[in-house]
C-alpha cells in the first residue's frame, strides 16, 4: 500500500504545471476570472504540498499506527514538518536568487 501512495504523490505534482499556463493564456479574459484561476491554482499547490508533507512525515514517523500518538512519534512529526517547511523555503529562496541573477546577467548583456 505504501508504494501505491508514493506513486500517486509523485504523479500529483505534475498537475500544477498544467494549470498555470492556462491561467497565463487568458491574457484578454475577464480580470476577475484570471484572479479566480490564480487563487485556485495557489490553493491546489498548497494542498499538494500538504499532501507531500503528510505522506513523507507519516512514512518517517509512524512505525505502528495506534489509537494514540506516543511522545516519540509526536516529536518526530513536529521535527519533520519543521524541516519540510525549512527545506521548501530554502529551495524557493534559492530559485528566486537564481532567477534574479539570470535577469541581471541578461540585462548586462543587452547594455
Residue 48 has pLDDT above 60, yes or no: yes
H or E segment to which residue 67 belongs: none
Grid coordinates given for 19: 494549470
Bigger pLDDT: 102 or 90? 90
Residue 3 has pLDDT above 50, yes or no: no
Grid coordinates given for 67: 489509537
Count of domains observed in the chain: 1
17 domain-assigned: no
CATH number of the domain that 41 lies in? 1.10.287.810
Is the pTM higher than 0.75?
no
Range of the domain at 54: 31-109
pLDDT at residue 72, as a whole number: 93
Bigger pLDDT: 14 or 107? 107
21 domain-assigned: no
Grid coordinates given for 20: 498555470
Q: What percent of the chain has pLDDT over 90?
A: 50
Contacts of 63 (CB under 8 A, 6+ apart): 73
Residue 24 has pLDDT above 60, yes or no: no
Q: Cα separation of 15 and 41, whole Å?
A: 10
Residue 81 has pLDDT above 60, yes or no: yes
Q: Cα separation of 34 and 24, whole Å?
A: 8
Amino acid at each position: 500500500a505504501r508504494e501505491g501512495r508514493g506513486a500517486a504523490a509523485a504523479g500529483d505534482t505534475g498537475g500544477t504545471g498544467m494549470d498555470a499556463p492556462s491561467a497565463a493564456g487568458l491574457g484578454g479574459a475577464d480580470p476577475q476570472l484570471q484572479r479566480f484561476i490564480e487563487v485556485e491554482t495557489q490553493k491546489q499547490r498548497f494542498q499538494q504540498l500538504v499532501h507531500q508533507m503528510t505522506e513523507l512525515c507519516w512514512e518517517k514517523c509512524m512505525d505502528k499506527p495506534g489509537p494514540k500518538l506516543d511522545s516519540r512519534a509526536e516529536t518526530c512529526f513536529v521535527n519533520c514538518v519543521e524541516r519540510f517547511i525549512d527545506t521548501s523555503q530554502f529551495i524557493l529562496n534559492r530559485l528566486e536568487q537564481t532567477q534574479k541573477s539570470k535577469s541581471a546577467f541578461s540585462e548586462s548583456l543587452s547594455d
